[in-house]
């Protein structure tokens, strides 16, 4: 390794001398060419030989209330650099640990090769979190090894900063809710989202029709609950949105989510009633897999529709896009398969005229993975952030400009990899079980017949 490092330095010195002999040194510059080249190459890790980089370990630590349960992944290598990733909020770290034996000895710079090896072990919802989190960490390692930010390895960037939208604590009083969102606007946010659903009607008689015994429907898909909104309920929800629009105005985009487990017909009736209020989108009105039903809703109303935060891999997104079943897609990078797969999802949608917003709830690690992906994807619209009100969220990361969200935007880092490191002290203060990247040797040899063909 010493010879390789020396050769890298000698190559740079030789280039400088050759450039000087060719007359490339600018006499008007305040700095020497050697100094300028040193500045340009200062982020390159000369202690790394990317072709010889190998994965030696994978460990996890689980943070609580950031804003939810968030497992962090650390992948170590034989050259002393590590990569950071994150399993999706609320998921088990075991989704990532299960992959460890498939990663050991691999070169993390071969991101796509490794992804194709492990993607069979993910699935829709939180089960995609292990593969997605590992993929983030691989890109972080590759960027550090080659001394470039992740977005550059994706083909470069379309934007220097990423637009953020955030949820706001709800209230049954629309004026209170609107004033909270107005504070978001004052803080620089240029995109808003609200919760709007039958939970606002739960104690108002005559607003919701539901079969007896259907009080808890979280595990029943929307078309099978028999729950409908009455005209009285629709009128109340419409007045609620109207009151908010009167305060925040119509200039800023305002989207809506969390409608409750209502059927398609109620979704259409509610969507039509909300048309006057120029909502940016109606999110996840029914489960994502019902492509034909989504198309039925989208074609019946003049409010944009959006879904996708629980979809794993591009194939199911492609079905929605090809059918124009929704107006926008909404991947969660920590479920969808990671950074490159999410960019591919966005690129496919962009070619067919469909915009992409990104769902995110987690620590700054997953946040920056989203930032790099959003920077490199043309049809990106806005990135969610559930942690705006978590006071210690910014402190978990070092190496980034603070606050991370600045007047409603996140600057795209120019440093290698994802562009951040972990603040050990802060993370240790917020662990669920006080286990901070403990050894995981029990996962070193977990093997099975993984091949999908004979």
Counting residues of the chain whose pLDDT is more than 70, the rounded percentage is 89
The domain covering 51-148+436-443 belongs, at the CATH homologous superfamily level, to Enolase-like, N-terminal domain (3.30.390.10)
**372 CB-near residues (< 8 Å, 6+ apart):** 139, 149, 150, 151, 154, 339, 412, 413, 418, 419
> How far, CA to CA in Å, does 255 sit from each of 165, 192, 274, 303, 335?
10, 6, 11, 10, 22
For residue 270, the model assigns a pLDDT of 98
For residue 41, the model assigns a pLDDT of 42
Model confidence band, residue 29 (pLDDT cutoffs 50, 70, 90): very low
CATH T-level topology, domain 161-417: TIM Barrel (3.20.20)
For residue 47, the model assigns a pLDDT of 53
Strand partners, 209: 228
3-state secondary structure of 21: helix
Tokens of 193: 């989202």
Q: Count CB atoms within 10 A of the CB of residue 308.
A: 26
- How do the domains of the chain map onto residue ranges? 51-148+436-443, 161-417
For residue 399, the model assigns a pLDDT of 97
8 burial type by CB count under 10 A (0-12 exposed, 13-18 middle, 19+ buried): middle
For 75, phi and psi rounded to 5 degrees?
-105, 125
For residue 45, the model assigns a pLDDT of 55
Whole-angstrom Cα distance, residue 13 to residue 7? Answer: 10
Residue 1 pLDDT greater than 60, yes or no: no
Model confidence band, residue 239 (pLDDT cutoffs 50, 70, 90): very high
Question: C-alpha 389: how far from its chain's center?
Answer: 18
Residue 454 pLDDT greater than 90, yes or no: no
Cβ-defined contacts of 108-111 (< 8 Å, 24+) = 108/53, 108/54, 108/55, 108/75, 108/77, 108/83, 108/137, 108/138, 108/141, 108/142, 108/145, 109/50, 109/51, 109/53, 109/138, 109/141, 109/142, 109/145, 109/146, 111/135, 111/138, 111/139, 111/142, 111/340
3-state secondary structure of 71: strand
Q: Which residue has the higher pLDDT, 195 or 13?
A: 195
Q: Which residue has the higher pLDDT, 291 or 28?
A: 291
User: What does the pLDDT average to over 222-245?
Assistant: 97
pLDDT digits (tens, 9 = 90+) for 272-322: 999 999 999 999 999 999 999 999 999 999 999 999 999 999 999 999 999
What is the gyration radius of the CA atoms in the chain, in angstroms? 24
* pLDDT, the chain, mean: 91
User: What does the pLDDT average to over 335-353?
Assistant: 98
User: What does the pLDDT average to over 364-389?
Assistant: 97
Which H or E run contains 292?
helix 291-300
């Amino acid at each position: 390794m010493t010879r390789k490092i020396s050769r890298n330095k000698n190559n740079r010195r030789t280039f400088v001398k050759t450039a000087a002999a060719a007359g490339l040194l600018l006499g008007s510059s305040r700095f020497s060419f050697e100094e300028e080249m040193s500045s340009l190459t200062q982020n390159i890790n000369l202690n790394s030989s990317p072709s010889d980089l190998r994965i030696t370990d994978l460990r996890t630590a689980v943070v609580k209330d950031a804003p939810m349960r968030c497992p962090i992944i650390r992948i170590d290598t034989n050259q002393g650099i590590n990569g950071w990733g994150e399993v999706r909020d609320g998921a088990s770290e075991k989704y990532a640990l299960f992959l460890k034996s498939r990663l050991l000895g691999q070169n993390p710079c071969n991101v796509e090769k490794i992804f194709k090896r492990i993607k069979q072990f993910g699935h829709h919802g939180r089960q995609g979190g292990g593969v997605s989190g590992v993929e983030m960490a691989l890109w972080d390692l590759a960027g550090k090894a080659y001394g470039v930010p992740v977005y550059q390895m994706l083909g470069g960037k379309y934007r220097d900063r990423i637009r953020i939208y955030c949820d706001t604590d709800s209230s049954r009083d629309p004026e209170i809710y609107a004033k909270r969102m107005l504070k978001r606007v004052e803080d620089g946010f240029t995109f808003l989202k609200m919760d709007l659903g039958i939970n606002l009607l739960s104690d108002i008689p005559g607003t919701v029709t539901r079969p007896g015994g259907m009080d808890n429907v979280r595990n029943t898909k929307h078309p099978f609950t028999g729950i409908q909104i009455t005209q009285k309920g629709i009128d109340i929800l419409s007045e609620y949105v109207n009151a908010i629009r009167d305060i925040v105005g119509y200039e800023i985009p305002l989207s809506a989510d969390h409608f409750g487990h209502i059927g398609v017909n109620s979704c259409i009736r509610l969507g039509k009633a909300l048309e006057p209020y120029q909502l940016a989108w109606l999110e996840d009105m029914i489960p994502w897999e019902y492509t034909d039903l989504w198309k039925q809703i989208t074609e019946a109303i003049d409010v944009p529709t959006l879904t996708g935060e629980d979809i794993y891999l591009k194939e199911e997104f492609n079905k929605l896009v090809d059918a124009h079943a929704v107006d926008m897609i909404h991947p969660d990078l920590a479920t969808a398969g990671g950074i490159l797969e999410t960019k591919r999802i966005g690129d496919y949608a962009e070619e067919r005229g469909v915009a992409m917003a990104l769902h995110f709830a987690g620590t700054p690690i997953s946040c920056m993975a989203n930032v790099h992906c959003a920077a490199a994807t043309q049809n990106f619209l806005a990135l969610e952030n559930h942690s705006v009100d978590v006071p210690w969220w910014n402190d978990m990361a070092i190496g980034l400009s603070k606050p991370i969200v600045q007047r409603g935007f996140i600057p795209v880092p120019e440093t290698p990899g994802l562009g951040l490191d972990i603040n050990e002290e802060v993370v240790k203060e917020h662990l669920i079980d006080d286990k901070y990247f403990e050894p995981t040797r029990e996962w070193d040899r977990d093997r099975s017949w993984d091949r999908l063909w004979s």
